[in-house]
Amino acid sequence: MSKHAYLIICHNNWKQLNFLIDCLNDPRNDFYIMVDSKATDFDCEYLTKSVPTDNLYFVNQIDVRWGDYSLFEASLSLLKAASAHQKYSYYHLLSGVDMPLKSQTYIHNFFDSNQGYEFVDFDNEDSSSLAFRRTRYYYLLQKYVGRKRISFFKILRDVILIFEKILHVNRVKDIQSYLAKGSNWFSITDDFAHYIIGKESFIKKYFYNTYICDEIVVQTLLNMSPYKDNWYGNKNHSLEYQNMRYLDWGRGKPYTFSKDDFFELHEGEYLFARKFSTDIVSNDIRDILLNKEN
């Protein structure tokens, strides 16, 4: 029996998190939860009581900030915790507002049929040049800047960037040819997971104090690794289903799906989608996902 590890990063919508775990709950799955340390209303005991599973593990919290290294650090901490516990066939990184679109039988059969492939997303346009712009300079203070368009820390960070540009700083010149960008959500094998973990010092050297590096690190490491030829995009010859997750960037950043959207998404080929509104929590959605025929 192949075992899968679901690595979940969350910061709110606890009822939705409960529902996500309930819909994924299966003897073949373990769950590793990273709750943003800024979340003050999370009740660990409530989650463990409301979701009937013995395979639920909590990973030490991190203060996750948008655009900062901390988001990748959260992913890495989850990978380290899961891989140290046991060997899994696949490690799936999700957020707490994601949803599976298929039953666990369908999902496990899919990955069994594609065992060894790495489901990592690469942008289809200008990926390497954008990754280079985000990583060549030291984005100091990004942790305090976040998404803010105007703040003291943003002004100070941008002034520092001006001096770096004058000095022609390029901290990634040694790996520039490997740089790539895509979605940070992935499904990867145990071998590639251990490869990433083993590169922690390398990752900090080149990606700490960069900008939105969680969308760059895994793609770049896959390009550098002996697992590059195992990228799923090489098999299906499509940029649509690289990580088997559907995000709608045409209607939002990304668009928030509702319960009504689920039924159409369920009929498609994707295995997961993000993000969903709280109305997804419903018995009819649960019944669909727990039906082994779906």
pLDDT value of residue 40? 83
pLDDT value of residue 257? 92
How far is CA 237 from each of CA 185, 243, 267, 269, 273, rounded to the nearest angstrom?
20, 13, 21, 15, 21
Q: Which tokens hold the place of 154?
A: 């943003």
pLDDT value of residue 127? 84
pLDDT value of residue 199? 98
Q: What b/e string do you get for 206-244 counting C-beta neighbours within 10 Å, with b at 16 or more? A: bbebbbbbbbbbbbbbbbbbebeebbbbeeeeeeebbbb
Partners of 188 in the β-ladder: 91
| Burial of residue 180 (number of CB atoms within 10 Å: 0-12, 13-18, 19+) | buried
One pLDDT digit (tens) per residue for the chain, 294 residues:
789 999 999 988 888 999 999 999 999 999 999 999 998 888 887 787 777 678 999 999 999 999 999 999 999 999 999 999 999 999 999 999 999 999 999 999 999 999 999 999 999 767 899 999 999 999 999 999 988 888 899 999 999 999 999 999 999 999 999 999 999 999 999 999 999 999 999 999 999 999 999 999 999 999 999 999 999 988 776 677 899 999 988 898 889 998 889 999 999 999 999 989 888 888 889 888 987 666
So what's the architecture of 4-124+181-290 in CATH?
Answer: Alpha-Beta Complex (3.90)
pLDDT value of residue 44? 80
pLDDT value of residue 52? 65
Evaluate if pTM is beyond 0.85: yes
Domain boundaries, the chain: 4-124+181-290, 127-166
